[in-house]
A and B are shown apart, each in its own frame.
Chain A
Amino acid sequence: MPHLPQRAGLGFKPEHFHDLMARRGQVGFLEVHAENYMGDGGAPHAMLTALRADHALSIHGVGLSIGGAQGLNRDHLDRLRKLIDRYQPESFSEHLAWSSHGAEWLNDLLPLPYTDETLATVCAHIDEVQTHLGRRMLLENPATYVTFQASSWSETDFLTEITRRTGCGLLLDVNNVFVSATNHRFDARAYLADFPLGAVGEIHLAGHETEELPSGPLLIDSHGAPVADPVWALYAEVLDRTGPLPTLIEWDNDVPALDVLLAEVARASDLLGHATKGQADAA
């Protein structure tokens, strides 16, 4: 199975199509949300087909509801299979979250408690996804605003055990780590010290917004702003430990001109370059 290059990539937005075609190959890879490409035809498929010819591709699902108590939507698994067969992406990833309740689609990545029961459910769902798609998937750590009384596992232990049981990889969203750490008043560095970095196949970087609660800040994972400086610092520290990893700049709301995003890509590329050099020096 081919891998994403150890370069900085970009979440593709249709408004950037012509600019990206004019700068083919300048970004390390592109990522798209699977569900936006599940129509029969039209502009989305034409654009993705054109870009795919010159870019490595990550397909990032938001629709599987892997953390849901109910069984996976088999129709949706079939749609994913079709999409993956068509575009042969280097990576497929999904979220540790739930979004469906019965047939109802809630359109947000909702949190789950970390218990023996949910661990078994999530692992069974990931097994089913990997079997149905015939490939290994990456699972992304969530940004959360609440936690659960029922949780008996730490998030990092939960993720570690999922990778051990299912063989899946992880998508480490460093902004999500910073958002959750701030929101739940824990130390992001301690979290990352416990995170199974050996399983990470891709990193996400995105911006967040800040609200104020009486007890302190509540960060919202808005994907509508530049990556914050503390997130860049954590990212550099992760790379010191892992060496270079495929890294995505995510910007989904209030999307700016491509140049603004390419500046973020360039900043990630710089850090990836240092990480590569650090590895070479250590060798």
Chain B
Amino acid sequence: MPPEMHHAALQDGFRAALWADAPPDGLTAPNPAEIAQRFKVYRNNVFHSLTRALAARFPVVERLVGGEFFTALARAYLAADPPQGPVLLHWGESFAPFLEGFAPVAQLPFLPDVARLEYLRGRASHAADAAPVAPAALGVDDLEALHLALHPSVHLFASPHPAVQIWQGQQPGAPKMALKAGPDHALIARRPDFALVVEPLDPASFAVLTALKGGAPLGAAARHGDLTAALTLLLTHGLIADARKGTPA
């Protein structure tokens, strides 16, 4: 490459070479025969650091497929859909959809939903803060007309597969349990002490909580199932940020 080569073109070549076998043009080293080995440090840094960042967000997916396979999987995902900005806290929204179309994991039909659960768990950990209301806030007349604002970290997760059970089975110290057939449902959220909650739900509780999260008054939510159980769960984990009558904020 000639010295007058412009910076943008040089960076295009550098970026392309991260994905190629040969280093880009325009590099030098004390021993030019070693340029490829030197350039490899950058290639390793890029792929290794992004693979580890992905694994940190999807540790159960990594455990389920194994470290070596995960590295290859990460490379395919990076090729298809690299991160689009320097804040990696929320990276990976497209990982589950990618897995759905990735033929080598087609024999693990639950895997995309496990990834989706892990993604939502990550979202919960960085969601906005909101102080929980005291249980007394629910001690009002006309309880049926009350609307709740759930904590911003609350996600309601549903899968036709036993994805929640599979995720639980991969947690440290989890007992060996026989899997029941799906569907699985769970509440995913962050408690005021920052602990992350993945609480399995029965379908009726999932429906009640989904209605509450959607702003339905308690009376309407109760038509889906056991409202008391749902409220107890929310209060236990400090997940009600506001409770008021009238239209939800």
Residue from A75, A110, A184 in contact with B14 in the complex, judged by beta carbons closer than 8 Å: A110
What CA separation (Å) do A121 and B126 show in the bound complex?
34
**How large, as a class, is the contact surface on chain A?**
35 or more
What CA separation (Å) do A146 and B29 show in the bound complex?
6
Instruction: List B contacts of A124 (CB < 8 A).
Output: none
The stretch among A20-28, A43-51, A130-138 that forms the contact with chain B is: A43-51
Q: Are A41 and B127 in contact (CB under 8 A)?
A: yes
Instruction: List B contacts of A39 (CB < 8 A).
Output: 89-90, 125-127
A-facing mask of B187-199, CB < 8 A → 1, else 0?
Answer: 0001000100000
- B26, CB-defined interface residue at 8 Å: yes
Known A38-B89, A107-B49; judge A218-B129 contact (CB<8 A).
no
Q: Are A38 and B7 in contact (CB under 8 A)?
A: no
Q: How far is the CB of A183 from chain B (nearest CB, A)?
A: 8
Residue from B3, B8, B126, B194 in contact with A69 in the complex, judged by beta carbons closer than 8 Å: B8
What CA separation (Å) do A79 and B129 show in the bound complex?
18
Instruction: List B contacts of A106 (CB < 8 A).
Output: 15, 18, 46, 82
B-facing mask of A63-77, CB < 8 A → 1, else 0?
Answer: 111001110010110
The stretch among A3-11, A96-104, A234-242, A270-278 that forms the contact with chain B is: A96-104
Instruction: List A contacts of B50 (CB < 8 A).
Output: 107
Q: Are A105 and B39 in contact (CB under 8 A)?
A: no
Q: Are B152 and A38 in contact (CB under 8 A)?
A: no
Report the interface size for chain B: residues with CB under 8 A from the other chain. Answer: 52
Q: Are B41 and A218 in contact (CB under 8 A)?
A: yes
What CA separation (Å) do A104 and B35 show in the bound complex?
25
The stretch among A147-155, A156-164, A188-196, A256-264 that forms the contact with chain B is: A147-155
What CA separation (Å) do A70 and B7 show in the bound complex?
9
A-facing mask of B23-34, CB < 8 A → 1, else 0?
Answer: 100111111011
Q: Are A44 and B30 in contact (CB under 8 A)?
A: no
- A113, CB-defined interface residue at 8 Å: yes
Instruction: List A contacts of B18 (CB < 8 A).
Output: 106
What CA separation (Å) do A53 and B49 show in the bound complex?
32
Q: Are B49 and A149 in contact (CB under 8 A)?
A: no
- B88, CB-defined interface residue at 8 Å: yes
What CA separation (Å) do A98 and B86 show in the bound complex?
11
Residue from B4, B37, B88, B128 in contact with A41 in the complex, judged by beta carbons closer than 8 Å: B128
**23 CB < 8 A contacts A-B:** A40-B129, A42-B129, A42-B194, A46-B194, A69-B11, A75-B85, A76-B87, A79-B87, A100-B85, A105-B86, A106-B18, A107-B49, A112-B11, A117-B7, A118-B7, A146-B39, A149-B1, A184-B29, A184-B30, A185-B30, A213-B34, A214-B33, A215-B30
- Additional pairs, 10, CB under 8 Å, beyond known A42-B125, A69-B11, A148-B28: A39-B126, A42-B153, A43-B194, A76-B87, A107-B88, A113-B26, A145-B38, A146-B42, A184-B29, A213-B31
Please list the 10 inter-chain residue pairs (A to B) with the smallest Cβ-Cβ separation, ordered nearest first: A63-B86, A39-B126, A41-B129, A69-B8, A40-B128, A215-B31, A69-B7, A43-B194, A108-B45, A101-B15
